[in-house]
Structure formats: structure tokens, C-alpha cells
Amino acid sequence: MPELPEVEVVRAGLAPAVTGARIVAVDARDPRALTRHAGTPADFETRLTGRRIRATARRGKFLWLPLESERPGIPASLGGAPSSPEAIMVHLGMSGQMLLRTPDAPAERHERVRFAIEHPEHGELAVVFADQRTFGSLAIDPLVDTPDAAPGGSGDDAPLVPAQAAHIARDPLDPAFDDTRFRSRMSATASAVKRVLLDQTVVSGIGNIYADEALWAARVHPETPGRALSRRRVDRLLAEVRSVLVKALAEGGTSFDAQYVNVNGQAGYFAHSLSAYGRHGQPCPRCGRVLVRVAFANRSSHFCPRCQRVG
């Protein structure tokens, strides 16, 4: 599944094209793309038509498009002014894509929803949600206040987050991320450190790829109990998590196939920079020992048995 870098690449690509744009029309072609929306496809189309997109925002792996509070020319009694701020919540799932296209572009393969938008500077565009495996979805979701009054996520200064993502912790690149709280959660658990990194209620945005990469960089075995790590090792691990996420962002994320692409359909190339993930059977870039892969929580862990010993 796409992790923080891949979702941030999509957010950053959408931002200049959709921020300030008005939604002229919505075509929800496949109801499977709206499984997390509380209403019908017709409700989704009607409630979004005429709305203006205020920003693009992301927390961890979650992406949303905050909307202006009113629909121009529509009385409040007919839905012109929602009772609370709303956003288009975007769940990319395993293969979801948000693509920018010209207004007359032909339908994409696996296209599920198409938005016709009009931007004050860029003119008319189409925003396409395509999803091969149909595990992703879109929804109109109310925005709720953040408990710490800090911005909800990257790309938007408003202290609001979609209700569907309110339980998700901040990610390590968020200025409001609480390092002290992370240390406390790590030191209080006997769970494997990799399991902690994958727990989106503790720290968001990290999946299997970047957990393996950060653990390799920090020389920490994935099965090490969290409470076995000293504060110094926890701080180093957190620093390595941030480092690998920033490096992956700079290279457009990790793409092993055509599913993880930016808004123009281009794949990232961080896969060429991986040190541990997917490299089992190859020599460790640091010590030369053969990297191994072991089963871990319905996934796999990749690590060096010499550099990363269980602590």
C-alpha cells in the first residue's frame, strides 16, 4: 500500500491544480469507489457540484481536499451551507490513483470517479480517481477539531481533520508530532518495535517498506521489544525514520509497478535506493552479510542478521 511519501507526492501534485478550483461536475461511475461515503452516488455528485476546493491536506497515508463552506447560488435549506466543514476524503487503498487530465481526455483504465473542475488560473481540468483493485474509496466527510489545536495535516493550516482520520496519529514529518509521547509509547510496550512503527495510532505514514528501511539504518532488529530500546536508540530510530521518508520524497516515492504514480502517471524511483526491503538473498550494503526475509504479521520483514541483532 502507498505510504507517506507516495501520498505526499500525490498531494503536492494536486495542490496547484485544485486549490481554489470549483467543482463543475462529478461523475461517480462506479459505486464501489464510494464505499466509505455515507450517501448514494447521486448524493455524492449533488453535494459536490458547485463546491470550491480550499486546499489539499495529508496526515500519514490519509489525503483529503477541504471544501469551502458554501455552494454558490444554492440556499442553505437545499444544502448550500453544510452544518459543519467538510472535505473529500481520499483513501488510495492498494492501487488508487488521483490523476490530472485535460477536460476531453478519454476515460482511464479502471476509472471510477471523474471530477470536472475550473481553476481561476489554470482553467478547466479533469481530476480522475482510478483504482484497479477497488480497495480505495472517496467520501464526503465532516471535518472535526484537532485535539491539540495544531493544523490537521500537511498542506492546510486549519486545525481540522476528517472524522474518518481523527484516530490517526500525526506523522514524523508533521511539525506538531510529539517526540516525547512517541518515546513513552515505545518504552511502555513489549511489542516488537516494527509493530509499533506500523501502528497508525502511535505514528502514521510508515508502512512495511519504510519500517524495514529505517530499522536497517538504525541497526535495530524488527522483533526487538519496544521497551528494550534505550532513549538514545529510540531517538536514533526516529531520526532514521524521518531521514528515509525525506529521501523517498525527494525521489518521488517507491514504485514497484505501475500502480504507485503521481498525478501525471509517473512512477517514483526510490526503489533503486532501498537498502533492505525486497533485497533478501543479496548482500547487506553495510557489512556484506546476506539479507534475510522472515514472516511478520501477514507481511515480511527484511533485515541483516549481523547488523540488526535482537536487543
- Any idea which residues carry the catalytic annotation? 2-3, 61, 299
From start to end of the chain, where are the E strands? 22-28, 57-59, 62-66, 86-91, 96-101, 111-119, 123-131, 137-145, 160-162, 292-296, 299-303
The answer to whether 110 is annotated as binding is yes
Q: What cell does 100 get?
A: 490530472
Please count the CA atoms within 13 angstroms of the CA of 90 that sit on its side-chain side. Answer: 29
Q: How many residues does the chain have?
A: 311
Torsion sign, CA atoms 217, 222, 225, 226: positive
Inter-residue contact 33 to 137 (CB < 8 Å): yes
| Nearest CA among 32, 66, 42 for reference residue 135 | 32
The answer to whether 167 is annotated as binding is no
Q: In Å, how far are 45, 78, 98, 101 from 108, measured between CA atoms?
A: 19, 33, 11, 10
274: CB partners within 8 A, 6+ apart: 209, 213, 254
Which residues line the annotated binding site?
110, 133
Which residues line the annotated binding site for DNA?
110, 133
